[in-house]
Structure 1
Amino acid sequence: MIKEACVESFEEAKRAQEQGANRVELCSDLANDGLTPTMRDLQKACSLLAIPVMVMVRPRKGNFVYSPHEISEMKQAIDKAKNAGAHGVVLGMLRPDNKIDAKNTRMLAEYALPLPVTFHKAIDEMDDPVEGVRVLKTIPNVKRILTSGGKPTALKGLETIRQMIAEAEGKIIMLVAGKVLDTNVSKIQKLTGTNELHGRRIVGELL
């Protein structure tokens, strides 16, 4: 089982590693569901941690429909992640009709190479996250989808998560999130069948 801790500073990332995290997702501003981290935290985490660092690429809070200028900012953030030595990037893009923005996701996934891409919880904003999997599994270099099955918690989204895993056909990993804690991570792993889980407190409190 891979436990990915969601962190918003180098200090939290370091504590997550000490407490048994296998990987971290580095963000800033988790009060707004995570934005691109600062250069300081990015460089320190990538150079000083022994575990992989996945870097959030999200230029602003709010929805996931991005302008050409914001997409350019996302490319710059990907460049910084590459230069810092990150192990992957995390991004998500929707169209105004709440479908996957396949065109721009494909472009950024290719731009991110050789770093793998995780499509984040923007997918949970869709009316049918399973449809999102159907689209994303056709986009090269999208390796994971971060999801709680369209529900506030993984336990409430269990049925949809299972359907998403089935739709993925082994081509893409479901990284299960949504109130995944150190106290319930094993239970959620067994119920969903996934081997990768993500949470703010997946290895306990980091503050």
Structure 2
Amino acid sequence: MKDKMTFEVCTDSFEGALAAEKYGAKRIELCQALNVGGLTPNYGLIQQCALGSKVEVHAMIRHKEGGFVYDDQDVEIMKKDILASKNAGAKGVVFGILDSDNTISLKNKELAELSKELRLEVTFHRAFDFVPDPDKAIKTIIEYGFDRLLTSGKEESALKGLPLISKLQQKYGGQIQIMAGSGVNAVNALKIASSGVKNLHFTARKSTNRPVMLSMGELMLVDEEKIRSITAMF
């Protein structure tokens, strides 16, 4: 049944790409700084994952933490990161820009058009979960040419957001791929899939539990068992 469900593993490492490939995931969302929701990965990491694995690499385009409202200079940086991602071998890019009232910014259209010119797939990320009117927002995202929407249904987890995810899938699933993400695991994956979505997104990391005298951030390992357990259910 794996051909009926597409898996996207959110990872910050080449090891994550290899594990995603090993257990049948189609894509990775490649990020850095997952502890702040994911930032743009560096060129070398994108290229290593693209050349050294068979999974599609979709690069996060988010150069700074702290929300999704960006000015014109931010957009110029994002354009450069989209081009760099393409040159490094990415299959797609992932981004989302909001206006100050948390509605979908027109700036997304410019970036989506650039991405399409570069033959990149485009995913609108969980900035969507902050919008006040999800129906209006998804219509705008579709109009701007996005291929895919990642959402938790405006809740802290996809399981809690299942009513909205189901509604979006039913109303708009023929126009854009709805991908459920946030808190997806082997316990709830089938329940979330009951919404009708054909794309599941999840992170698979575990702590090294290594005591350190001076910390520069914790090194996290790939949780291969989580990837295996979710993909094996379909």
The interval holding the TM-score normalised by the smaller chain is over 0.9
Aligned residues: 203
In 2, the alpha carbon distance for the partners of 1:40 and 1:82 equals: 12
Where does residue 31 of structure 2 map in the other structure?
Answer: 27
Alpha carbons 2:153, 2:161 under 8 Å: kept: yes
Conserved in 2, the CA contact under 8 Å of 1:154 and 1:177? yes
Mind listing any 5+ residue stretches in structure 1 that lack a counterpart? none
Report the equivalent of 2:19. 15
Shift of 1:169: 5.1
Q: Distance in 1 between matches of 2:224 and 2:168?
A: 25
Contact 2:97 2:104 in 1 (8 A): yes
Distance 2:16 2:173 in 1: 34
Query: For the Cα contact (< 8 Å) 2:31–2:40, is it kept in 1?
Result: yes
What CA deviation, in whole Å up to 9, does each residue of 1:25-51 have, x standing for no partner? 100000000000012211100111111
Cα displacement string for residues 48-93 of structure 1 (whole angstroms, at most 9, x for unaligned residues): 1111111100010111110111111101110011111211100000
What is the CA distance between 1:205 and its match in structure 2?
4.2
Structure 2 residue 28 is matched with structure 1 residue 38: no
The alignment's TM-score, normalised by the length of structure 1, stands at: 0.92
Find out whether 1:120 has 2:129 as its counterpart: no
Q: TM-score, normalised by structure 2?
A: 0.82
Matched position secondary structure for 1:153: coil
Q: 1:65 to 1:58 in 2, by over 3 A?
A: same
State the AA in 2 paired with 1:26.
L
The answer to whether the 8 A contact 2:13-2:45 is kept is yes
- The structure 2 residue matched to 1:64, chosen from 62, 68, 71, is 68
Whole-Å separation in 2 of the counterparts to 1:29 and 1:106: 26
* Largest Rg, 1 or 2: 2
Q: CA 1:169 to 1:38, structure 2 compared with 1: closer, same or farther past 3 Å?
A: closer
What do you get for the CA RMSD once the two structures are aligned? Answer: 1.6
User: Are 1:104 and 2:68 counterparts?
Assistant: no
